[in-house]
């Protein structure tokens, strides 16, 4: 499949913990065979599920897969993140943060686990307001200048912090953040309701405005709501219990039927139609195949207007 424009990104958070290496290899092989390009991981994945209490398992599995598949590095792009890996096992409060030392050390360890000399996109996984933004921006800029990170981006950052960081990067003459990663999906929680998942930050209209005005890439996570669109045993969280949710799901079913597509296909197509690259965490080959098939689903202006009216 020749994929151009926004595309599905393979989320690998559970590789090496909840997803065994052999199954992860099959998922990765299927993703590449289907034309997928981007892999998304983080140095902290998944310390909460790892008996050792620290991250690195996902990167280690990807590294082993790259070694077992000579030449595949030329066909995939790797994105990883620094910020949340515990320095003390089982103690998330000991997270490395975004000091220059932590950023450089975190990336060095990630490259070692991945077995590569650079990553294609390096994310600041979340804000660290205990460190001057100038220091963090400078560290990311240095890594970009060295070629260790082809691009740099900010995940779970407020829009004003992203733009402030970009301004500081310009002042320092270093590479600025050019990508945003935030939580987003077709259904939306009740306004002003805290999310149960600590550290998650929702994509806002302000984020999209910033991205479109500055030409920034936008990636979304929790794009398929952990299977809630298609699995009765995984209902949407209670924070999504609002009138708009029922209306949106009705429109979703109508459009999926009209296009002979699944709910997941349409949700992913809705995101990509807006220029957003959705991250899909997959643990089985059939999940990868379904996600990549969303590239063939075409939503027109009428479909988008119906969703907008329902929300």
| pLDDT the model gives residue 118 | 98
| pLDDT the model gives residue 192 | 87
Q: How many residues does the chain have?
A: 311
- Of 156, 157, 134, 138, the residue nearest 146 (C-alpha): 138
**Mean pLDDT confidence for 301-306:** 98
**Mean pLDDT confidence for 26-53:** 98
| pLDDT the model gives residue 109 | 98
Please check the confidence at residue 1 and state whether its pLDDT lies above 90: no
pTM of the entire predicted model: 0.96
Please check the confidence at residue 4 and state whether its pLDDT lies above 80: no
| pLDDT the model gives residue 193 | 87
| pLDDT the model gives residue 270 | 98
Which residue in the block uniquely carries the two structure tokens 């998650």? Answer: 200
| pLDDT the model gives residue 166 | 98
- What confidence category does residue 196 fall into, taking pLDDT thresholds of 50, 70 and 90? confident
Listed range (39-43, 192-196, 224-228, 246-250) with the worst mean pLDDT: 192-196
What DSSP string describes 251-266? HHHHHHHHHT--HHHH
**Mean pLDDT confidence for 37-59:** 98
More confident residue, 193 or 178: 178
pLDDT in tens, 161-176: 999 999 999 999 999 9
DSSP, collapsed to helix, strand or coil, labels residue 76 as coil
Please check the confidence at residue 3 and state whether its pLDDT lies above 80: no
| pLDDT the model gives residue 194 | 87
Report domain extents, the chain.
9-310
Which residues make Cβ contacts (< 8 Å) with residue 257, sequence separation at least 6? none
Please check the confidence at residue 2 and state whether its pLDDT lies above 70: no
Q: How far apart are CA 157 and CA 193, in angstroms?
A: 18
Look up the CATH number of domain 9-310. Answer: 3.20.20.100
pLDDT in tens, 65-104: 999 999 999 999 999 999 999 999 999 999 999 999 999 9
């Amino acid at each position: 499949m020749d994929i151009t424009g926004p595309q599905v990104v393979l989320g690998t958070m559970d590789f090496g913990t909840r997803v065994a290496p052999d199954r992860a290899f099959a998922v990765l092989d299927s993703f590449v065979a289907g034309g997928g390009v981007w892999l998304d991981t983080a140095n902290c994945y998944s310390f909460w599920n790892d008996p050792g209490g620290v991250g690195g398992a996902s990167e280690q599995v990807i590294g082993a897969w790259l070694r077992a598949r000579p030449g595949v590095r030329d066909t995939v792009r790797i994105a990883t993140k620094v910020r949340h890996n515990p320095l003390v096992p089982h103690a998330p409060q000991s997270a490395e943060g975004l000091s220059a030392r932590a950023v450089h050390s975190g990336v060095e360890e990630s490259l070692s686990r991945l077995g590569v000399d650079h990553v294609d996109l390096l994310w600041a996984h979340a804000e660290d307001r205990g460190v001057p933004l100038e220091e963090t921006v400078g560290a990311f800029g240095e890594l970009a200048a060295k070629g260790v990170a082809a691009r740099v981006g900010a995940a779970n950052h407020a829009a004003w912090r992203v733009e402030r960081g970009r301004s500081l990067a310009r002042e320092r003459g270093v590479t600025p953040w050019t990508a945003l990663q935030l939580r987003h999906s077709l259904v939306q929680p009740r306004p002003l309701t805290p999310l149960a998942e600590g550290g998650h930050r929702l994509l806002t209209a302000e984020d999209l405005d910033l991205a479109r005005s500055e030409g920034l890439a936008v990636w979304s996570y929790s794009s398929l709501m952990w299977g809630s669109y298609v699995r009765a045993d995984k209902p949407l969280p209670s924070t999504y219990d609002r009138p708009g949710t029922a209306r949106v799901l009705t429109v979703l079913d109508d459009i999926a039927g009209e296009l002979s597509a699944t709910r997941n296909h349409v949700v992913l197509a809705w995101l990509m139609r807006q220029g957003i690259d959705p991250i899909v965490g997959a643990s089985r080959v059939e999940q990868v195949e379904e996600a990549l098939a969303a590239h063939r689903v075409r939503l027109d202006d009428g479909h988008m207007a119906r969703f907008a009216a329902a929300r």
